[in-house]
Chain A
Amino acid sequence: MKILVGYKRVVDYNVRIQVKPDGTGVVTDGVKLSANPFDDIALEEALRLKERGGIEEVVVVGIGPADLTAHLRNGLAMGANRAIHVVTAEAVQPLTAARAFLKLIEKEQPGLVILGKQAIDDDASQTGQMLAGLWDRPQATFASKVEVADGKVTVTREVDAGLEIIEAELPAVITTDLRLNEPRFIKLPDIMKAKAKPIDTIEFSSLGVDAHDQLKITNYAAPTKRSKGVMVKDAAELVAVLKQKGLL
């Protein structure tokens, strides 16, 4: 069985995002880029499933500009066998990404597709669900535990009410939550080894994916900031202030 992993490159989660003054975007020049944290978790889970046996190949997929190669090499250094780079200079929204994934699935025939529950740049949380819908296959979103056996996957999902356990036939789409695992660190020798691993490059335009119906983003703005408040000296003063405000 083969596992396909979504491996998106995003602005690193530690970067304080600045909106461009003219409202046309956020500042990304010279900003640190990293794998989407949920995608590192997705890759780690795929690697662990492979280490447990029954999985032959883990393939990382990145849809993005030409310079995505170095990022995909990180995925290979972490342990993926192969990478697929769908090359496009345009920003790709979830529905378009899901359609592109579906094309790759038709070719690769994976038993499992693991994506992040959300990309921390667009915070959309859509691609996995859309892909599963287009593919007409099960979806298990927000996974915090995954067990594969007998052509089935049992997934524990983090939901608002607690933990929901569902069971799905393979092939299926899983999206990862934070507590699924802790991704491994990349070791230096693995970086060397990754150089020999294959990256298939596919032009987005050759996939035959309809991308005309993306949402139009007309403006970027900074959020309204909360202003700095007051400091109180002790517990008694805090309670007095809260009582005065009618909050206690």
Chain B
Amino acid sequence: MSKVLVIAEHLGGKLNPSTARAVSAAVAVKPDAIDVIVLCDSVDAIAAEAAKIEGVSRVLTAARAENAHPLATVLAPQIAKAAAGYSHVFAPSTTFGKDVAPRVAALLGVAQVSDIMSIDGSHTFKRPIYAGNAIITVQADPAHAVVATVRTASWAAAASGANNAPIEPLSLDIAVPTHTRFVELLQGKNDRPDLQSASKVVSGGRGVGSKENFEVIYRFADKIGAAVGASRAAVDAGYVPNELQVGQTGKIIAPELYIAIGISGAIQHLTGIKDAGTIVAINKDGEAPIFEVADIGLVGDLFKLIPELEQAIG
């Protein structure tokens, strides 16, 4: 019998949309049950959200003061214990899931499958390697639980609303380590749509030239209601904070519309956007590799073109 345990990701009392994407992957396993585990100091609001996701059989909660912040050292032993009896443990492939899932796998003594793109069978998965330049098919041993992270850009979020899964508190009753402590989270203040779930994203690269110039990108994004992203070069140069980086080692996203401005199109960047619906590239260099993958290309100076675009949009 196959049963999937999905680790819920949340922040500030809200469920992260990545959780519903991980549930979609769980559905593709065709299991007998999908349970979502919520670990937090105060679980009620998050659990209520999770209970609405279609496909979820039960929501299991682990409420304790130590779970106030997502420390892998604290959460992993609880998840490993809760995993008894499950054939699969899935987490979203976000910084949260990437941090905690391998520790859970190690505690269970099993290998992990990272970044599942598709599911060919209950123990056969496809995942990208080499920045998405190759896709491998991997088989996990059915004798053990499969611990995996789900490449969120490959999976649409499971629908939410109609379901009303029961919520059950777990009594895990284990000591958790105290050697690792949360100090603080410095969150970028941002009223814009969330980069990982936005339907439109406007990204700027080194071509934007400075932190001040990046205002042009923000303004344009606001005009069309888009989230803002960036290349590594723009982040490294300090134009924008790290959480905006898109790519192999940043965020992997799949918006309906992606507009890359002043970005050359390095393979490490492209791997983060290859699932986008429509890619638009604006670059002054007509030979830039970004034009090889862009659905629509426009050659020219971004400082001239963006105001013109804004005017044309009206």
Contact = CB atoms under 8 A, between A and B. Distances in A.
B122 interface: no
Contact of B135 (A127, A128, A220): A220
A231 B299 CA distance: 8
A58 to B, nearest CB: 23
Interface stretch (B39-47, B160-168, B286-294): B286-294
A123 B115 contact: yes
Interface stretch (B25-33, B58-66, B82-90, B185-193): B185-193
Nearest to A130: B106
Contacts of B112: 94-95, 124, 126, 130
Given A130-B106, A168-B181, A248-B224, A220 B134 contact: yes
A226 to B, nearest CB: 5
Nearest to B107: A133
B299 A137 contact: no
Contacts of A217: 136-139
A160 B111 contact: no
A26 B131 CA distance: 13
The interface size bin for chain A is 35 or more
B134 A218 contact: no
A123 B177 contact: no
Contact of B132 (A144, A223, A241): A223
Contacts of A219: 136-137
Interface string B291-303: 1111111111000
A100 B106 CA distance: 13
Interface residues of B, number: 88
B211 interface: no
A129 B102 contact: yes
Nearest to B314: A239
Contact of B280 (A121, A130, A238): A238
A134 B132 CA distance: 29
Nearest to B92: A160
A11 B130 contact: yes
Given A133-B107, A161-B11, A121 B130 contact: yes
Contacts of A11: 130
B197 to A, nearest CB: 11
A125 B98 contact: yes
A139 B278 contact: no
B313 interface: yes
Given A166-B71, A168-B180, A216 B139 contact: yes
A164 B102 contact: no
Contacts of A208: none
Interface in A152-209: 154, 157-169, 172, 177-179
B67 interface: no
Contact of B249 (A178, A235, A240): A178
Given A139-B72, A179-B236, A242-B257, A234 B298 contact: yes
Interface of B: 11, 71-73, 76, 94-96, 98-107, 110-115, 124, 128-141, 144, 177, 179-188, 196, 200, 224, 232, 235-236, 241-243, 248-249, 251, 256-257, 267-268, 274, 277-280, 291-300, 305, 308-309, 311-313
Interface of A: 11, 13, 16-17, 19, 26, 93-95, 98, 117-118, 120-134, 136-142, 144, 154, 157-169, 172, 177-179, 213-223, 226, 228-232, 234-236, 238-242, 245, 247-248
Given A133-B103, A215-B111, 18 more contacts: A17-B130, A123-B114, A123-B128, A138-B180, A140-B180, A159-B96, A161-B11, A166-B180, A166-B182, A168-B179, A169-B180, A177-B249, A178-B236, A216-B139, A222-B133, A229-B294, A229-B297, A242-B257
13 contacts: A17-B134, A26-B130, A128-B102, A129-B103, A157-B95, A161-B188, A165-B185, A222-B135, A223-B135, A235-B308, A238-B296, A240-B312, A242-B278
